[in-house]
């Protein structure tokens, strides 16, 4: 019976520790025993003990880790399984730790780039909500008491305020549900929800992340000794975007029929010419895992550049948009006062 599954951070640190110990020449079982002895009794001792005990009984490490599929995905398990067969477990775990660290870095970069725009949206949204819930209704009541016709802009703002007041209870119900859905998507995919990558401005970022993850995963599997066809199948099954999964499935079919990998990729528009040429070079030189790793680094740099460009455009755009909205509200509320002042004069 399996215990509580480890967190992603705990599994990442566990992988890094095990890779360092095995790389230093420590036997697998001795390394697991040492890591279990250093683990926290309250958080990770139970699952590390179960893995250690199962390995002691002769179970492969990949099979012992397979009881936690939500933490150790099919790519992780396939890499460990292939490394056990090829005898390169330390190198494979090191690459897996690097892969996990790279994914964490991508998430952090996205979080840093979007933190200020999201904070600006939140502050502006709360300010506008306060005005539509309290300020505008009071002013609208004062204007109605005067019995004068209001300017069209003021009438439009008052109507919008009334609509938001009616929709507020429903928004308070929908927003927590949306937050829970996004959190569940984060748990399943390990990155931002794939649905978010279809939003304007994030589509190019999503493609860069997906292709970099694809190349890095395939390189890790091949370096662990997994055959190309099986590595492609595992990479496609765990691709972060559905179109990439479908494209990889078609590539698997062509490779299974005897087509070189670079020719199979060339028939899919999703794969760039640079990526195809690097795969071709890797096949010709017998260093496909190395060239795929270089390709993943190139795509990661492209992701960083695209993220910086998006951040430079998004921040001033949001500032201008929020300023325009606030100015519109202020103008709509002051227009009747201007009319009243002109009447008194």
pLDDT of residue 282: 93
CA 82-83-88 angle, 5° bins: 155
| Residue 156 in tokens | 């439009």
My answer on whether 56 and 180 are in the same domain is no
Instruction: Kindly give, in sequence order, each residue whose CB lies less than 8 Å from that of residue 90, ignoring residues fewer than 6 positions away.
Output: 19, 22, 23
Nearest to 157 by CA among 137, 176, 173: 137
**Is residue 3 included in any domain, yes or no?**
no
My answer on whether 21 and 146 are in the same domain is no
My answer on whether 129 and 269 are in the same domain is yes
Residue 224 has pLDDT above 90, yes or no: no
My answer on whether 61 and 142 are in the same domain is no
Q: Which of 129-133, 193-197, 253-257, 277-281 has the lowest mean pLDDT?
A: 193-197
pLDDT tier, 202 (very low <50, low <70, confident <90, very high otherwise): low
**Is residue 186 included in any domain, yes or no?**
yes
Its domain, for residue 152, covers 101-345
pLDDT of residue 42: 56
**Is residue 83 included in any domain, yes or no?**
no
Backbone angles phi, psi at 259, to 5 degrees: -80, 140
- Burial of residue 320 (CB within 10 Å: 0-12, 13-18, 19+) is exposed
My answer on whether 141 and 197 are in the same domain is yes
pLDDT tier, 258 (very low <50, low <70, confident <90, very high otherwise): very high
Half-sphere CA count of 163, side-chain side, radius 13 A: 6
**Is residue 12 included in any domain, yes or no?**
yes
Answer yes or no: are the C-beta atoms of 257 and 271 closer than 8 Å.
no
| pLDDT tens column, 38-89 | 776 555 568 888 899 899 999 999 999 988 888 888 888 988 998 888 888 8
The C-alpha R_g of the chain, in whole angstroms, comes to: 28
Query: Last residue of a domain, which of 52, 72, 92?
Result: 72
CA separation for the pair 326, 162 (Å, rounded): 17
| Residue 238 in tokens | 């765990």
pLDDT of residue 344: 46
My answer on whether 282 and 331 are in the same domain is yes
CATH of the domain at 131: 1.20.81.30
Nearest to 31 by CA among 18, 49, 44, 41: 18
What is the mean pLDDT of the segment spanning 105-134?
A: 78
Query: Last residue of a domain, which of 27, 51, 72?
Result: 72
**Is residue 79 included in any domain, yes or no?**
no
Reduced 3-state DSSP string for the chain:
CCCCCCCHHHHHHHHHHHHHHHHCCCCHHHHHHHHHHHCCCCCCHHHHHHHHHHHHCCCCHHHHHCCCCCCCCHHHHHHHHHHHHHCCHHHHHHHHHHHHHHHHHHHHHHHHHHHHHHHHHHHHHHHHHHHHHHHHHHHHHHHHHHCCCCCHHHHHHHHHHHHHHHHHHHHHHHHHHHHHHHHHHHHHHCCCCHHHHHCCCCHHHHHHHHHHHHHHHHHHHHHCCCCHHHHHHHHHHCCCCHHHHHHHHHHHHHHHCCCCHHHHHHCCCCCCHHHHHHHHHHHHHCCHHHHHHHHHHHHHHHHHHHHHHHHHHHHHHHHHHHHHHHHHHHHHHHHHHHHHHHHHC
Number of domains in the chain: 2
My answer on whether 168 and 48 are in the same domain is no
**Is residue 59 included in any domain, yes or no?**
yes
CA separation for the pair 200, 332 (Å, rounded): 30
My answer on whether 158 and 210 are in the same domain is yes
| Residue 52 in tokens | 């250690």
**Is residue 2 included in any domain, yes or no?**
no
Query: Last residue of a domain, which of 72, 87, 117?
Result: 72
My answer on whether 220 and 291 are in the same domain is yes
My answer on whether 18 and 112 are in the same domain is no
pLDDT tier, 257 (very low <50, low <70, confident <90, very high otherwise): very high
My answer on whether 123 and 66 are in the same domain is no
**Is residue 223 included in any domain, yes or no?**
yes
My answer on whether 153 and 289 are in the same domain is yes
């Amino acid at each position: 019976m399996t215990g509580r599954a480890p967190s992603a951070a705990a599994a990442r640190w566990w992988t890094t520790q095990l890779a360092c110990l095995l790389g230093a020449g420590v036997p697998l079982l001795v390394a697991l025993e040492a890591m279990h002895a250093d683990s926290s009794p309250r958080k990770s001792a139970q699952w590390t003990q179960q893995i250690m005990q199962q390995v002691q009984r002769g179970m492969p490490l990949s099979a012992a880790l397979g009881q936690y599929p939500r933490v150790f995905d099919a790519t992780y398990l396939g890499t460990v399984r292939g490394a056990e067969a090829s005898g390169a477990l330390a190198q494979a775990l090191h690459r897996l730790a690097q892969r996990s660290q790279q994914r964490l870095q991508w998430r952090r970069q996205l979080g840093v780039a979007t933190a200020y725009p999201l904070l600006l949206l939140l502050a502006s949204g709360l300010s506008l909500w306060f005005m539509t819930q309290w300020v505008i209704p009071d002013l609208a009541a004062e204007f109605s008491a005067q019995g004068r016709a209001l300017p069209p802009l003021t009438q439009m703002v008052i109507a919008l305020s009334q609509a938001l007041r009616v929709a507020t209870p429903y928004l308070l119900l929908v927003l927590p549900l949306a937050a829970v859905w996004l959190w569940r998507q984060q748990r399943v995919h390990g990155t931002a929800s794939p649905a978010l990558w279809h939003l304007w401005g994030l589509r190019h970022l999503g493609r860069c992340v997906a292709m970099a993850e694809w190349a890095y995963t395939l390189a890790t599997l091949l370096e662990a000794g997994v055959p190309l066809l099986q590595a492609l199948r595992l990479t496609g099954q765990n691709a972060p975007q559905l179109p990439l999964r479908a494209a990889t499935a078609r590539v698997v079919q062509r490779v299974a029929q005897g087509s070189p990998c670079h020719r199979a990729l060339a028939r899919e528009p999703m794969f760039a010419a640079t990526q195809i040429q690097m795969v071709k070079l890797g096949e010709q030189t017998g260093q496909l895992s190395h060239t795929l790793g270089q390709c993943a680094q190139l795509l990661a740099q492209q992701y960083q550049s695209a993220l910086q460009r998006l951040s430079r455009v998004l921040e001033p755009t949001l500032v201008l948009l929020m300023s325009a909205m606030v100015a519109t509200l202020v103008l709509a509320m002051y227009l009747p006062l201007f009319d009243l002042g002109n009447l008194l004069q």
